[in-house]
């Protein structure tokens, strides 16, 4: 894979959207992840600027890829890998929805 790309499952794990890489792969293979509005395969190569939508049982997050990861580091490092465009969980907790 090109240096300016990273597998979707690996990026989801580095960005801490899944506890394990296996769970990240399952999220994608089960259809809960979209890249640029399209259902994405586990091995979909992500690039900086792609928009990733992650749907879980509790919320839906829409993020823009800001950087590709090199390791699964602390949460502060993981948050630098993306910019939040929309996060349903944040809307619910601040009282602006529901």
In-domain check, residue 1: no
In-domain check, residue 98: no
Residue by residue, DSSP assigns 9-61 as: HHHHHHTTSSSSHHHHHHHHHTT-EEETTEE--TTPEE-TT-EEEEE-SS-EE
Nearest 5°: phi and psi at 44?
Answer: -55, 125
In-domain check, residue 34: yes
Beta carbons of 32 and 15 less than 8 angstroms apart: no
The CATH code of the domain that includes 25 is: 3.10.290.10
Range of the domain at 69: 6-93
Report CA 17 to chain centroid distance, whole Å: 6
pLDDT tens profile 64-84? 999 999 999 999 999 999 999
Supply the pLDDT for residue 65. Answer: 97
pLDDT tens profile 13-49? 999 999 999 999 999 999 999 999 999 999 999 999 9
In-domain check, residue 42: yes
Q: Give the three-class secondary structure for 63.
A: strand
- Overall domain count for the chain: 1
The pTM score is 0.84
């Amino acid at each position: 894979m090109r240096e300016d790309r990273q597998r979707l499952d690996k990026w989801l794990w580095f960005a801490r959207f899944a506890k394990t890489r296996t769970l990240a792969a399952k999220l994608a293979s089960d259809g809960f992840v979209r890249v640029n509005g399209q259902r994405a395969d586990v091995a979909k190569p992500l690039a900086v600027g792609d928009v990733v939508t992650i749907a879980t049982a509790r919320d839906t997050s829409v993020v823009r890829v800001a950087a590709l990861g090199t390791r699964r580091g602390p949460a502060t490092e993981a948050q630098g890998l993306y910019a939040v465009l929309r996060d349903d969980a944040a809307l619910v907790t601040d009282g602006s929805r529901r």
